[in-house]
Amino acid sequence: MKELKVIPIETDVLVIGGGLAGCMAAINAAGNKELKVTLAEKSDTRASGKAGTGVDHAWSYIPPVHEPMGYTLDDLVEDWRQSTASGASGFLRDDLVRLVASTMYDRMLDLEKFGINFRYEDSKVPGKFRVVYQYFSVPGSFNFDGVPLKPKLTAEMKKRGVQIINRVQVTDLIKTDGQISGAVGVGTRIAEIYFFKAKAVVLCAGGQSRIHRNPTGVDFNTFGPPTCTGDGAAMALHAGLPIVNMESLSGKPNLRAGANYNPNYGDPRSTVQPAARIIDWKGNIIVPRTRFYDWEKLGKEKWTPEVRRKWLEERRSIGNIRGRMAEMHDRGEGPFYLDFAEATDYEAQYIEWSIKNEGRGTQFMRYFKDEEGFDLKKTRQEYAGYGPMEFGTGQRGLWVNRGLETEIRNLFAAGDEVGAFLNAAAAPGALAGGWYAGGMAATRALAQKKFPVAGEEEVKGRKAICSELLNRERGFFWKEVEVYLQNLMDFYCGGIRSEAMLKRGLERLDYARAAPLKADNPHELARCLEVKSIMDTAEMVLRCSLERKESRPEPLGFRRSDYPQPSQEWSCFLGIRLEDGEFKYAKYRGDKPV
């Protein structure tokens, strides 16, 4: 049996995960010349994370656009409360919304310095931006050339001297005297153990995927990136930290435009603006076409609460489009189509451009046009294909304070790793939050004189786990156990849940935990470790679903057959944590524990 090599790395700031949040955290921290900043990434920072090959939207408070409208930061937060949080203050971290909204515009200006274009000659918007409606009662989301984001951010990190270590999956956090002092990781191409010692750590390993089975049968054609397997929340759980909103992660019935291609868009009120509409099989309009804001009116027309009221009414009459169509489909209705027939040529070009700026959108348009010869205006895209699935960018994850620090000192979190954002962390949460968390971690590292010394136990433990997986004579292939877990989650933890079914799901999860996994090489070892993260995610989803004794419509979107009504008592976030091997629960309203 060959001994796994241990690679020790000492650094001032360790960033775990190199998606948008991680890159921004590292770039900002490395602005301090006297600090060594190290970033550990499971894939390669040039193409990793949810925005790996691009992102097309980023919401923000945009002073040159919103000030002439008389629309304030407070108005934006209130929009958020009324729409995304459905008016329930228990479900709004307005401190986090404010943090992102108030700094995101500056981050766009930073991205411009790093080489990202977001100004266009043909634009009538101040600053030559392209701004469309998405979440707010006013246009509030930039469209931009997002495909080169990750290569540009990687180049900026290198320029600032960040040590980038690709192909290492971080698996454990190290705690010394009640503080985070480093982490343990495993190489995904060479089976080696990384032993990181750090003065401050930023955790941004992204969200969770591969919890439910993909109904197309194309395994990794998932909604979120299949590389994001909840490793961050899993290691935080084992470090004793609370994770929130896990019950809302999965099980949503969902129909998506582009049918089984799963191109990750299709809401005419956000991602395919302007000019997209939804029609049914008879040609009836389900959702009318959208339009650009008339920028000639900017400065002449003032925003009023009446505008918000009108907009919210319109939104409510549509409901959650994809969820609503899934319900209609269950009643035997359909098919439904996304349709661009009413788009002008310019609008169709605009939509195509914006779709392409989301990296997977580029691939979708390539398939759509090059492989099939389709034309956006002359081809309807069917909504189809999706049963229970993971959903909810950034709504589940670590509980943090308003400084993005967790309950364990020196551990910060950002991006989709942070919980309680309710559908809305996404790219701005990652870009703005990542930058902020990196700054906080740098300040902390500067104040800390000595390196903490512990971690040998964690390294030994991880080494033993990996050796066992690699040297087992017989065992199950990672995918066998993953499919078992997905079957379990689809059946016991789908759209409608109950105590008895959830308890049975937990029993079957115990059976999976006892399964001997076997890895034939480093690649399979990494997948086995991901399956272990998926088990932890499944356990948190099952347990939190059991704990939340109510049903609640979107955006939390949670249904229990034995508790069919919303309950005032549950108008709050639910957190789960491990304490001496026991699961404990806590409630939070807004940014405070109840």
Partner 1 sequence: MSYKHIYFNEKVCNGCNVCVDVCPCDVLAPNKEKGKPPVLAYPEECYFDGACITLCPRKGAIEIVTPFPMRGGFQRV
Interactions with partner 1, residue window 363-382 (CB under 8 A): 363, 366-368, 371-372, 374, 378-382
List C-alpha distances in Å: 581 to 16, 82, 562. 25, 39, 28
Is residue 52 at the binding interface for partner 1, with CB under 8 A as the rule?
A: yes
Q: What span, in angstroms and rounded, lies between the C-alpha atoms of 253 and 61?
A: 32
Residue 484 interacting with partner 1 (CB under 8 A): no
Q: What are phi and psi of 15, to 5 degrees?
A: -110, 125
Contact between 216 and 384 (Cβ < 8 Å):
no
Residue 268 CA: distances (Å) to CA of 14, 287, 437, 507, 530: 40, 8, 33, 42, 34
Residue 158 sits in the site that holds partner 1 (CB under 8 A): no
Spatial separation of the C-alpha atoms in residues 192 and 28, rounded to whole Å: 29
- Chain-centroid distance of CA 336 in Å reads 27
Residues of span 379-438 touching partner 1 by CB under 8 A: 379-382, 384-385
Q: What's the rounded Cα separation, in Å, for the pair 291 and 41? A: 40
Q: Nearer to partner 1 by C-beta: 171 or 209?
A: 209
Q: Are strands 582-589 and 277-280 parallel, antiparallel or unpaired?
A: unpaired
Give the binding range for partner 1 (CB under 8 A) out of 91-99, 210-218, 236-244, 463-471.
210-218
Residue 43 touches partner 1, criterion: CB under 8 A: yes
List 10, 110, 192, 219, residue binding partner 1 (CB under 8 A): 219
How far is 327 from 176, CA to CA, in rounded Å? 50
Closer CB to partner 1, residue 48 or residue 320? Answer: 48
Question: Quick one: CA dihedral 525, 528, 533, 534, positive or negative?
Answer: positive
Q: Which of 246, 259, 287, 538 binds partner 1 (CB under 8 A)?
A: 259
Nearer to partner 1, 45 or 137 (CB): 45
Tell me the chain's radius of gyration from C-alpha atoms. 23
- 207 within 8 A of 223, measured Cβ to Cβ: no
Torsion of Cα atoms, 337 then 385 then 271 then 591, to 10°: 140
CA dihedral 63, 422, 229, 476 (to 10 degrees): -170
CA atoms of 164 and 46, how far apart (whole Å): 11
Chain mean position to CA 95: 19
- Asked if 47 is part of the footprint of partner 1 (rule: CB under 8 A), the reply reads yes
In the complex with partner 1, the residue whose CB is nearer, 215 or 240, is 215
| Shortest Å distance, C-beta 515 to partner 1 | 21
Does the footprint of partner 1 cover residue 265 (CB under 8 A)? no
Count of residues of this chain found to bind partner 1 when the rule CB under 8 A is applied: 48
- 207, 224 Cβ separation under 8 angstroms: yes
Only one of the segments 62-70, 126-134, 255-263, 321-329 lies at the binding site for partner 1 (rule: CB under 8 A); that segment is 255-263
Residues in contact with partner 1, shown as a per-residue x/- string from 53 to 92 under the rule CB under 8 A: xx--------------------------------------
Residues 417, 437: contact at Cβ < 8 Å? no
Nearest CA among 267, 318, 263, 549 for reference residue 423: 267
Q: Which of 185, 225, 253, 419 binds partner 1 (CB under 8 A)?
A: 225
User: Given candidates 36, 46, 130, 518, which one binds partner 1 under the rule CB under 8 A?
Assistant: 46
Site for partner 1 in 182-201 (CB under 8 A): 188-189
> Which window, 222-230, 309-317, 440-448, 480-488, contacts partner 1 (CB under 8 A)?
222-230
* Distance (Å, whole) CA 593 – CA 43: 36
Question: Could you say which DSSP state residue 512 is in?
Answer: H
Residue 523 binds partner 1 (CB under 8 A): yes
Tell me whether residue 487 or residue 561 sits nearer to partner 1 (CB atom).
487
Q: Binding marks (x or -) toward partner 1, 300..339, rule CB under 8 A?
A: -------------------------------------x-x
- Among 31, 151, 288, 590, the residue binding partner 1 under the rule CB under 8 A is 151
Q: Note whether 217 binds partner 1 by CB under 8 A.
A: yes
Please identify which residue in 362, 443, 467, 498 interacts with partner 1, judged by CB under 8 A.
362
Q: How far apart are CA 375 and CA 377, in angstroms?
A: 6
Among 102, 221, 448, 467, binds partner 1 (CB under 8 A): 221
* Nearest CB to partner 1, comparing residues 101 and 376: 376
Decide: is 360 part of the binding site for partner 1 (CB under 8 A): yes
H-type helices in 114-259, by residue range?
Answer: 149-159, 231-238
Closest separation in Å from C-beta 382 to partner 1: 4
Token pair listed for 173: 């956090």
**Stretch in the footprint of partner 1 (CB under 8 A) among 175-183, 213-221, 434-442, 534-542:** 213-221
CB of 257: closest distance to partner 1 in angstroms? 9
Kindly state whether residue 227 participates in binding partner 1, applying the rule CB under 8 A.
Answer: yes
Binding flag, residue 226, partner 1 (CB under 8 A): yes
Q: Measured from the CB atom, is 359 or 388 closer to partner 1? A: 359
- Read off the tokens for 318: 């549509």
Q: Is 262 in the site for partner 1 (CB under 8 A)?
A: yes
Min separation Cβ 239 and partner 1, Å: 26
Q: Could you give the 3-state DSSP secondary structure of residue 450?
A: coil
SS3 label, residue 15:
strand
- Distance in angstroms (rounded) separating the CA atoms of residues 149 and 324: 34
- CA dist., res. 36 & res. 106, Å (int): 25
Using the contact rule CB under 8 A, the part of the chain among 44-52, 67-75, 173-181, 502-510 near partner 1 is 44-52
- Both tokens of 286, joined, read 């389900």
The least distance separating partner 1 from the CB of residue 166, rounded to whole angstroms, comes to 8
Rounded least distance, CB 335 to partner 1, Å:
8
Q: Which two tokens stand for residue 591?
A: 């940014």
Which residues of the chain form contacts with partner 1 (CB under 8 A)? 43-44, 46-48, 52-54, 147, 151, 188-189, 216-222, 225-227, 258-262, 337, 339, 341, 359-360, 362-363, 366-368, 371-372, 374, 378-382, 384-385, 523
